[in-house]
Amino acid sequence: MPKTTLYARTGEAIGEVELPEELFSAPVNVAVLHQVVTAQLAGRHLGTHNTKTRGEVSGGGKKPYRQKGTGRARQGSTRSPNYTGGGVVFGPHPRSYAQRLPRQMKRLALCGALTAKLDDDAIRVVDGIGLEAPKTRDLVDVIAALGRTGGRILIVAPGTDETLILSARNLPRVEVIRADSLNVVALLNADTVLIEQPALSRMEEVYA
């Protein structure tokens, strides 16, 4: 079973903690990671884009000029796509970009991402951040004490912690996420993953 150092919020190493083997010793399948990331990013597309066809553009009821005798090509409506202000040919319409993936594939990608972060020494387990009040400076001090001031930081909390969320919302490179809401994109985007120790049991319960 993999182990890592357990830190206090002051940055002091206070022991070791065992990590769930199913989450932190999983195979890292790059192809599966790529497919899950692609699907997750595609799901963020709103798909609300829309254009009007010639049948949806208002006006154009009258024939612009007579059928024969003008020397020009015949036209039936000024809302034809070749006219300015006419309809759009093959334009985008509302659609869903969601891609369905098997649950096992998504779980394999998540466990692979956690394993890769552990192998890269990018995971820090903290016994608890324990902010008493929403204060950004206190959170910055905790992060600095752990020696992780640079790059993007993902904090994994055991549950919804409003104090932690409010303290991090003014830090553009810090994201707070619940242990039961982990996703591959958030993990791969983070340079450092700070996990509160109580969140490990929740992660094992949900994903292992």
State pTM to two decimals. 0.81
pLDDT of amino acid 4: 87
- Neighbour-count burial of 145, counting CB atoms closer than 10 A to its CB (0-12 exposed, 13-18 middle, 19+ buried): middle
pLDDT at 45: 93
| Token code pair at residue 199 | 């969140």
Structure tokens, 137: 């400076």
pLDDT at 81: 93
Mode of pairing for the β-strands spanning 174-178 and 153-157 = parallel
Token digits of residue 52: 């009007």
Strand-pairing partners, residue 155, are: 176, 194
Ranges of the chain whose pLDDT falls below 70: none
**Do residues 158 and 202 touch, judged by C-beta distance below 8 A?**
yes
Cα–Cα distance for residue pair 189/151, rounded to 1 Å: 10
pLDDT reported for residue 132:
85
Residue 32: how many other CB atoms lie within 10 Å: 18
194 and 139 Cβ atoms separated by less than 8 Å: no
Give per-residue pLDDT as tens, 87-115.
999 999 999 999 999 999 999 999 999 99
pLDDT of 161 reads 85
Domains, the chain, ordered by start: 3-31+100-207 (3.40.1370.10)
* Integer CA distances (angstroms), 45 to 95, 104, 123, 189, in order: 9, 24, 30, 19
Contact (CB, 8 A) for 113 and 184: yes
Separation of alpha carbons 86 and 98, rounded Å: 31
8 Å CB contact between 118 and 156: no
Distance between CA atoms of 65 and 16, rounded to whole angstroms? 85
Order of strands across the sheet with 153-157?
13-18, 3-7, 123-126, 192-196, 153-157, 174-178
